[in-house]
C-alpha cells in the first residue's frame, strides 16, 4: 500500500517537489528499480488490460512479465540508463498483518473469479483474475534468468526491496530509486522516480523543506498517514497529521498530548496495538547492501531460453538482440 494519500498530500501541500521528467533527461543515470512491483505491473497490464487471455508458453509458464522486461530493458538501453533490479527478500515481521490481509483478499478474489468462470462472466473473470494474481517462484526465477542473459544487474535484498533501493540512492550507488510506492521517501531516498510512460521525479529535500519537517518527522508523518507497518490513529488524516507534527515535533509528544488532553483524547483514537517505534526503526534502519550480480548480454542463452523454452518468435528475439547489442556494444 505504500504511504496512504502521501502523493495526494504532496500534490496539494508541496507541489514543487514533484516534477515531470522526460526519459531522455535520464541519459547517463543509474536507477535502482523495485523488481517485484515492475514485474507485477507487466503481468497485470499485459495479461488483462487489453486482451482477455493470459500470455504463456505451451507448458503454461507465464511470459507477460518477460515481455515487460524485454521492452523495458530496450527502452533503458536506448536512453543510456543503467538499471539495477532489486528483488524483495524476506518480509519483516511487522508487515505480517498487511501481508495476511493481502493474502486473504487474493484468496477471496480467486474464489470470485472461479464463480465468474462458472457464470461465464468475462468482465468479472478478468477483474478478479487480476486481483488474485501473484508472482510465483518460477516466474521470479525466469525473470532473473532473463535479466542475466540480457546483461542486466540485479540484487536480492535482505528484506524490503524499497528499503534497499533507497539505501543505494542515499549512498550514491544510484541516482534514483524507482518505485510506485511512496515508501522510498520514508526510507530516505533523496530522489525517487514514479511511472512508466510518463515519469515523475520527487525530491526528498524539497519535500522536507516544503513541509518544514526533518526526515525523522517526515517518517512520523508517513506513519500517521498509514503505512504497511503500523495501523493509524482514527480521526487523523493528512491535514491533522501534518499539523500535529508541526505542533508537537514528534510522535512521542503527540501521543503524550493525546493521553493527557481529554479533548484530543476524545477526538482521536489511538489503536491498542500501535507499534510506531518499530515502524520508525524500520524506516530509518541502515540496510545491508548485498553484492550486485552483473552479467553480459548472451545472445545464445537468450535464444535458447526465449525461443526454445518459452515459445517467443525467433524473428522478434533476433531483432531484439540486434537492437540491444547496438545500444549496448559488448
Residues of the shown chain interacting with DNA in the complex, contacts defined by CB under 7 A: 1-2, 6-8, 11, 41-42, 44-46, 48-51, 53, 55-57, 63, 67-68, 71-72, 74-75, 102, 105-106, 126-127, 130-131, 180-182, 195-197, 232, 234-241, 263, 267, 310-313, 316
Instruction: Report in angstroms how near the CB of residue 171 gets to DNA at its nearest.
Output: 25
Closer CB to DNA, 5 or 289, in the complex = 5
What is the C-alpha to C-alpha distance for residues 65 and 277, in angstroms, rounded to an integer?
Answer: 37
**Spatial separation of the C-alpha atoms in residues 242 and 23, rounded to whole Å:** 33
Residue 65 or 286: which CB sits closer to DNA?
A: 65
* Sequence-separated (6 or more) residues with CB below 8 Å from residue 73: 83, 147, 150, 152, 324
User: In angstroms, what is the minimal distance from the CB of 224 to DNA?
Assistant: 9
**Minimum CB–partner distance for residue 291 and DNA (Å):** 27
| Minimum CB–partner distance for residue 329 and DNA (Å) | 19
Q: Which is nearer to DNA, 164 or 224 (CB)?
A: 224
Residue 200, SS3?
Answer: strand
- In the complex, the smallest distance separating the C-beta of residue 312 from DNA, rounded to whole angstroms, is 4
d(CA 227, CA 2): 6
HEC string of 97-163? HHHHHHHHHHHHHHHHHHHHHHCCCHHHHHHHHHHCCCCCHHHHHHHHHHHHHECCEEEECCCCHHH
Task: Look up residue 287 and give its three cell numbers.
Answer: 540496510
Q: Give 11 or 115: the residue with its C-beta nearer to DNA.
A: 11
Q: Name the residue nearer to DNA (CB basis): 41 or 289.
A: 41
Closest to DNA by CB, 68 or 151: 68
Compute the least distance from the CB of residue 298 to DNA, in Å.
18
End-to-end CA separation in angstroms for the chain? 40
Rounded Cα distance, 209 and 241, in Å: 17
Amino acid at each position: 500500500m505504500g504511504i496512504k494519500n502521501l502523493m495526494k498530500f504532496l500534490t496539494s501541500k508541496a507541489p514543487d517537489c514533484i516534477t515531470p521528467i522526460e526519459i531522455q533527461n535520464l541519459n547517463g543515470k543509474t536507477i535502482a528499480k523495485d523488481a517485484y512491483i515492475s514485474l507485477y505491473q507487466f503481468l497485470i497490464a499485459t495479461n488483462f488490460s487489453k486482451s482477455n487471455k493470459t500470455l504463456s508458453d505451451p507448458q503454461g509458464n507465464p511470459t507477460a512479465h518477460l515481455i515487460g522486461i524485454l521492452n523495458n530493458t530496450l527502452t533503458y538501453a536506448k536512453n543510456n540508463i543503467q538499471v539495477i533490479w532489486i528483488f524483495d527478500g524476506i518480509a519483516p515481521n511487522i508487515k505480517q498483518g498487511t501481508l495476511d490481509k493481502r493474502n486473504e483478499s487474493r484468496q477471496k478474489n480467486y474464489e470470485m473469479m472461479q464463480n465468474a468462470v462458472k457464470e461465464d462472466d468475462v468482465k468479472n473473470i478478468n477483474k478478479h483474475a487480476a486481483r488474485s494474481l501473484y508472482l510465483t517462484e518460477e516466474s521470479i526465477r525466469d525473470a532473473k534468468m532473463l535479466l542475466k542473459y540480457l546483461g542486466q544487474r540485479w540484487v536480492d535484498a535482505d528484506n524490503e526491496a524499497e528499503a534497499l533501493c533507497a539505501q543505494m540512492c542515499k549512498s550514491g550507488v544510484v541516482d534514483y530509486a524507482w518505485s510506485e510506492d511512496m515508501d522510498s521517501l520514508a526510507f530516505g531516498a533523496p530522489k525517487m522516480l514514479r511511472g512508466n510512460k510518463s515519469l515523475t521525479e520527487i525530491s526528498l529535500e524539497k519535500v522536507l523543506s516544503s513541509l518544514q519537517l526533518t526526515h525523522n518527522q517526515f517518517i512520523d508523518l508517513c506513519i500517521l498517514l498509514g503505512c504497511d507497518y503500523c495501523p493509524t490513529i482514527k480521526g487523523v488524516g493528512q491535514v491533522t497529521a501534518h499539523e500535529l507534527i508541526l505542533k508537537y515535533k514528534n510522535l512521542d509528544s503527540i501521543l503524550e498530548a493525546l493521553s493527557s488532553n481529554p479533548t484530543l483524547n476524545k477526538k482521536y483514537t489511538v489503536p491498542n496495538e500501535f507499534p510506531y517505534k518499530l515502524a520508525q526503526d524500520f524506516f530509518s534502519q541502515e540496510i545491508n547492501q548485498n553484492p550486485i550480480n552483473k552479467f553480459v548480454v548472451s545472445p545464445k542463452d537468450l535464444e535458447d531460453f526465449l525461443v526454445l523454452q518459452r515459445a517467443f518468435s525467433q524473428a522478434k528475439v533476433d531483432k531484439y538482440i540486434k537492437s540491444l547489442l547496438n545500444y549496448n556494444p559488448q
